[in-house]
Amino acid sequence: MGTELAGGARAAGDVAVDEDERRLAELGYKQELHRSWSGFSNFAISFSIISILAGCFTSFGLGWNNGGPAAIAWGWPIISMFILVIGLCMSELVSAFPTSGGIYWWAAKLGGPKAGYYTGWLNLIGLLAIDASVAYGCATFTDSTISAFSGSWASHYSLNRVFVLFLVVLLLAGLVNIFSSHLLAVLNNISVWWHVAGAAAVVLILFLVPTHHASVSAVFTHTVNNSGLFNGSTHGAGFLLYVLPISVILTQYTITGYDASAHLSEETRSAANSAAKGIWQSIFYSAIGGWILLLSFLFAVQDEGGVTKGGGGVGVIFSQALTSRWGGTVLLISAAGQFFCTVACMTSTTRMLYAFSRDGAVPGGRYWSALNAKRVPVYGVIASAVVAVLLTLPALVKVDINGAPVPVAFYAVVSIGVIGLYVAFGIPIFLRWRAGSNFTPGGWTLGSRYRWMCLLAVAEIAVTSIIALLPTSPGGVPGNSGFAWKFVNYTPIVVLGALLLLWIAWHVSVKKWFTGPKITVGTPPST
């Protein structure tokens, strides 16, 4: 790519675009997508997908029920540091290989077609699950927002009503994605400021409006076990080694999706530098903002036992600390942020599907890689929405744990997203470590620090992926009294089942014809 561009001296205008197209040709592709995104827009889409107004709100219960205030207050900054290391490793990779295939392309380049095949499918499964979880969260918070402002909207919570709103959210996000690439960039730029100003407004409301705040001791030392496991104990090996680790999914799920900066690199100017910055900066700023936001939730708790009895969701905290109008305002800010996030997630998913299909790895790939007149993969948008609906169908089954409604199906989709994305991230990071000095970096590089950072990143991903497979309630443990499928964390079924199908497909057919990324222009890049 040349250090001149990477250093930012010629990062704008036609020269930059020509340089981007030249580098893309070196990687084997002609410029087909419209390269209209600025470096800020590239950062904005990852920041929007991470969306502290989504993950911090929707998966708060995972942290509360599996550790309580202390697990959230301490767990977020600790896990965020590990995730930043993962992001820095990915920044180096996207600087070297700025293509829409992103993670899949890196793995195929560094480890061969088989590595690319598994990485691509894991990445795609993770992205589809994130689409589903964010859209469902948006629907849930939209329903709660309307209920807060309108007493005639609903007399009680309804799974069917929320599911209909979920379908509407997906439809609207799909329409935005189909009709304008430029509008997407504008919305993502707006989304950044909505997340910054919105999160600040929520923090101020929770600081100024409640007449009482929890003590520092309560926030940083109190623990909760509302999982139903180990008789609700907050001591002993069971709590420390099984229940408490599940709380890390709050952070791991919220701070994910930043691979969007890589998937949109073929639409970004000065991509080798801009996409690298987009990844690590979106993680860094989200980690700081998310911690402040979560602490504001924790300090707003009026009755710790009441939050636990209510299922550990943020809605219970808001109903304790705020009037209906103030609570509705906070929910509205979150719901809007979650819609921005849904749109950005679908964009990232369809670009990855486009690139993976372009290389022949997805059945029906000629449809998913087909571009409309606006150079948007329209059929890929439709497919991602349909799969999101199918993944979320179990959310129609009502589940109560300890007498409180708990969205087990939603948490399962969250876990699927975490495993799919992070394992996909881990494969090329490990392969980059294995390549050592044979790896040719781009303008943004870790230098010799890759030796320990890559290994640390892979280790964190391995541990977190195992945690995401664990049952989250006694009723979801096979053999336990009261076992029922509605309590089951179906993440292992989806993830391990998908891996089995991929293994069979590879050995029966795919290995005979799949050669990794297809070269459409120029000559294959050398290592």
Domain boundaries, the chain: 34-513
Work out the widest C-alpha separation in the chain, in whole angstroms: 68
Residues 6+ apart with CB under 8 A from 237: none
**pLDDT tens for each residue of 359-415:** 888 888 888 888 877 778 889 999 999 999 998 888 888 776 665 566 677 888 888
Q: Are strands 66-67 and 224-225 parallel, antiparallel or unpaired?
A: antiparallel
User: Nearest to residue 391, comparing CAs of 411, 405, 377?
Assistant: 411
Q: Are 173 and 406 in contact (CB under 8 A)?
A: no
pLDDT of residue 524: 45
pLDDT of residue 401: 63
User: Nearest to residue 328, comparing CAs of 313, 342, 310, 315?
Assistant: 315
Mean pLDDT, the chain, integer: 87
User: Nearest to residue 276, comparing CAs of 425, 422, 444?
Assistant: 444
pLDDT of residue 172: 93
Choose from 35-39, 100-104, 192-196, 289-293 the range with maximum mean pLDDT.
Answer: 289-293
Residue 349 has pLDDT above 70, yes or no: yes
**pLDDT tens for each residue of 261-277:** 887 888 888 888 899 99
Q: Are 202 and 369 in contact (CB under 8 A)?
A: no
Residue 481 has pLDDT above 70, yes or no: yes
pLDDT of residue 69: 98
Residue 480 has pLDDT above 90, yes or no: no
Pick the more confident residue, 9 or 433: 433
Within 10 angstroms of residue 520's Cβ, the number of other Cβ atoms is: 13
pLDDT above 90: percentage of residues in the chain: 56
CA atoms within 13 A on the CB side of 367: 9
**pLDDT tens for each residue of 91-128:** 999 998 888 767 888 999 999 999 999 999 998 999 89
What band does 8 get if pLDDT is binned at 50, 70 and 90?
A: very low
Question: Topology of 34-513 in CATH?
Answer: Amino acid/polyamine transporter I (1.20.1740)
Pick the more confident residue, 502 or 9: 502
**pLDDT tens for each residue of 9-45:** 334 445 555 777 777 787 777 777 777 678 888 888 8
pLDDT of residue 491: 87
Mean per-residue pLDDT, 70-90? 97
Burial group, residue 508, by CB count within 10 angstroms (0-12, 13-18, 19+) = exposed
What band does 6 get if pLDDT is binned at 50, 70 and 90?
A: very low
pLDDT of residue 220: 98
pLDDT of residue 10: 39
* Count of all residues that appear for the chain in the document: 527
What is the rounded CA–CA span in Å between residue 266 and residue 269? 8
